[in-house]
Structure 1
Amino acid sequence: MGLDSGLSESRNHYGQREHERPVKSSADEILQEQTSDETRSSDNDEIQQLISQGLRSSPRSLPSLLLWDSVGLNLYEKITESPDYYLTRVEADVIRNNVDAIVQSIGANGVILELGSGSLSKTSIILGEFAKREIPVTYFALDLCASSLAKSLEGLRSYLGHSPYVTCHPLCMTYQDGVSWVANQQFLRGKRVTVLWLGSSLANEPVNEFQDLVNGITTAYTSSSSTSNIQFLIGVDGNKDASTVSRAYDTSDGLSRQFALNGINNVNRALGADVFDADKWTFNGTWDPQEEAFHTNIKSVEDQVVFIGDQSLQISKGENIRFILSRKLSSSQFEKWLTGTALQTMTVWKHSKFNYGLYQLAPASKSML
């Protein structure tokens, strides 16, 4: 899991909006119910179109933005604390065991841009070292929900003892908005920039969209800077044990189920009508051994007809609608993903027991200075 949210079909779940348009302060604002055609926002029109397109596709799907309102974000943070959800503790172990090298790679007076920052539990390990060593660093946390972002940063500052060496800023926007932000920040010129993307969230995206995003950020930075002093630190989960993965994405406490089913309420909010009857749906998470991925689905418990505007959709009993596809990538598979980017692997910090790695990537033409 992870933050894979937005509005543009061409960017899958990441919004591809013009830079001049205002950035919504949370997914809740995008999903807010409108009372008339005149007051319905263009963002809401886009999400309605994505819902309609996804439900008509084969297999059926829904945009994962619908999972990331404030309720969904709170549920997800609880999921990451579950004993079943191994990704959090495994990645934290990797960071702790290699924090010296990670801090050195970021460097003094460096800038960190984190994609889908969440609760900052793992990021705090890195920033805590900067504070302890009195090394100045600037940190930008990018996420969708303004209230959750403010709460996380408040907790981080407290954890760091309000260190003067770590400067923290919120960026409440989608990933694609982040690309535009990088392109327009004079502050970043000449700075050593680290893009931090944890939780194996990259693997929620099709390979071409992962490539588009990292290439977009790299190009945005290099086009506005005289140096190519940018790196990516990306967490990649290669664990393909069906039982372990299934427990992580269908936790025994039932939170994963609540997380997925909360999306039904948000479908109705986005469409401005009770299109989906929650009693007619259940959670159905499945591991796909061919795709080597976990599908977070909702399943119809009976034959039903769903009306979207003046159009109707026949949905059969037992039919799945997918919210998220979480792929598991071996090292060789991830290297193939990189072939369509300007990046190459500099270092991989691996977990001693789990097939989980934190990859240090830099533009192929130049390594970090």
Structure 2
Amino acid sequence: MITFSNIVSQWSTSTPNVRTMQEADHEDILDISQNGQLDSLGSLKDRIAEGVFKACPGKRQIPIEVMYQGNGANLYAAYSSSPAYYLYQAERWIMQTYATEMASLITDRSSIIELGSGSLEKTQVLLQAVAHAPQIVDGIDYYALDINRKALVKSLASLPALKTIKCHGLFGTYNDGLHHVAKLQRRSDVEQVPLVFMWLGSGIENLTVEGAIGMVKSIADVMVDGDMILVGMDGWTSDTTIDAAYEPADKLVLNTLMNANEILGQTVFDMSKFVYSTQVNRLEGRNECCCMASEAVELNYQGKTVGMERGEKILVVPSYKYTDEQVIDMVKATGCLEVVRRFGTPDDAEIHYGIWMWRKTTRATISPK
């Protein structure tokens, strides 16, 4: 029988441009996107056009994936390091404080798959704890999945040599990653190993509540009994604290318009006519980071024209907030997960950010196909 990492090595030797991370010195990434390349994340052009040109005023939105294109990863790294961005600070504290306990729950020969791996700064803390965990003898395979190839190369190259851990890069979307895992699990010649999914950085918050539940179910579908998920989730705090956290995101969010122009292949958005806006929307249960028209503008793309009034917004980053009860309801909605532990901060009553560990309890049909 062969393992997941053996499969990566086999593909690497049969495909000249794809090698394992150790062989490539982090210069090459395994492309697992469904169409052989990330073609603007599966028709991002169409999604941008639909979200801007077909939506009603007040409902216009650009897919958040657009924000991370181009220089977005670097801008996000700079923004997230802001002291006011409590989500990052809280998650880093949690990882540094509880990494050893988290590592103790990971079994030997597991595969850790991180969705939206980013800079790996916080991930390194956990991987180092796993590398020194007494139960890890034969080793662990870590897979960093990201949609920004350049950022993925850079972050993997920053990882130190870790005893008993082999690191790999996967270039694709969340769905590409789940499809990849499911495809390997359906192969009779691949040895099945315990899986640990990591979804940190509060990425789940950027989905609607229904979308988040659907995504969690999709992850659970490629898990078997005993497999686990680590998920970072933010709770409600004061509007003042939330406003302060998202205020420094102006360059990151406004850069999304530049990325959109590049994806669309023309200057649809005049950067000089938009400003940054952030607000707490408790009715929708989220914070909203938007690009707001500073004057009346006319947008044109492929024969379509829409007008935006001064003050009208295009939503880029919806950040949903959850109570513990809502998180538990989400877990119950899957019908096959249970809460193992919630790791929080000392000021949990004020900054209610936590990393949740969920475990699969019922074997499910492997999907997607």
Superposition TM-score tier, normalisation by shorter sequence: 0.7 to 0.9
Q: Indicate if the aligned counterparts of 2:147 and 2:173 stay in contact, CA closer than 8 A.
A: yes
Q: Evaluate the alpha carbon distance shift between residue 333 and residue 287 of structure 1 in structure 2; reply closer, same or farther with a 3 A threshold.
A: same
* 1:313 lines up with 2:292 in the alignment: no
Q: Indicate if the aligned counterparts of 2:338 and 2:358 stay in contact, CA closer than 8 A.
A: yes
Q: Shift of residue 23 of structure 1?
A: 3.4
d(CA) in 2 for partners of 1:73 and 1:330?
29
SS of alignment partner, residue 106 of structure 1: coil
Q: Shift of residue 213 of structure 1?
A: 1.9
d(CA) in 2 for partners of 1:151 and 1:188?
30
Q: Indicate if the aligned counterparts of 2:33 and 2:171 stay in contact, CA closer than 8 A.
A: no
Q: Indicate if the aligned counterparts of 1:182 and 1:217 stay in contact, CA closer than 8 A.
A: no
d(CA) in 1 for partners of 2:85 and 2:296?
33
Q: Shift of residue 30 of structure 1?
A: 2.5
Post-superposition Cα deviations, 1:90-139, rounded to whole Å, max 9, x if no partner, equal: 11222222223211111222211011111111111111112334732211
SS of alignment partner, residue 302 of structure 1: coil
* 1:76 lines up with 2:86 in the alignment: no
**What is the 5 A alignment of 1:162-311?**
162-186=161-185, 189-222=191-224, 228-251=225-248, 256-311=249-304
- TM-align CA RMSD: 2.0
**What is the 5 A alignment of 1:82-93?**
82-93=82-93
The TM-score normalised by the length of structure 1 is 0.81
Q: Evaluate the alpha carbon distance shift between residue 302 and residue 273 of structure 1 in structure 2; reply closer, same or farther with a 3 A threshold.
A: same
Q: 1:275 is matched by which residue type in structure 2?
A: V
d(CA) in 1 for partners of 2:268 and 2:105?
50
Q: 1:152 is matched by which residue type in structure 2?
A: S
SS of alignment partner, residue 326 of structure 2: helix
2:344 to 337, 350, 358: 350
d(CA) in 1 for partners of 2:261 and 2:293?
16
Structure 1 vs Structure 2: percent identity of aligned residues? 27
Alignment length (residue pairs): 319
Q: Shift of residue 188 of structure 1?
A: 7.0
Q: Evaluate the alpha carbon distance shift between residue 139 and residue 301 of structure 1 in structure 2; reply closer, same or farther with a 3 A threshold.
A: same
2:36 aligned residue:
22
Q: 1:212 is matched by which residue type in structure 2?
A: G
SS of alignment partner, residue 357 of structure 1: strand
Post-superposition Cα deviations, 1:141-192, rounded to whole Å, max 9, x if no partner, equal: 0111112111111111x2xxx1341110001110000111111225874311
The TM-score normalised by the length of structure 2 is 0.81
SS of alignment partner, residue 122 of structure 1: helix
Unmatched 5+ stretches in structure 2:
1-31, 364-369
Post-superposition Cα deviations, 1:239-272, rounded to whole Å, max 9, x if no partner, equal: 3211111111112xxxx11111111112211221
d(CA) in 1 for partners of 2:55 and 2:194?
43
d(CA) in 2 for partners of 1:266 and 1:124?
29
d(CA) in 2 for partners of 1:241 and 1:189?
48
SS of alignment partner, residue 356 of structure 2: strand
Unmatched 5+ stretches in structure 1:
1-17, 32-42, 223-227
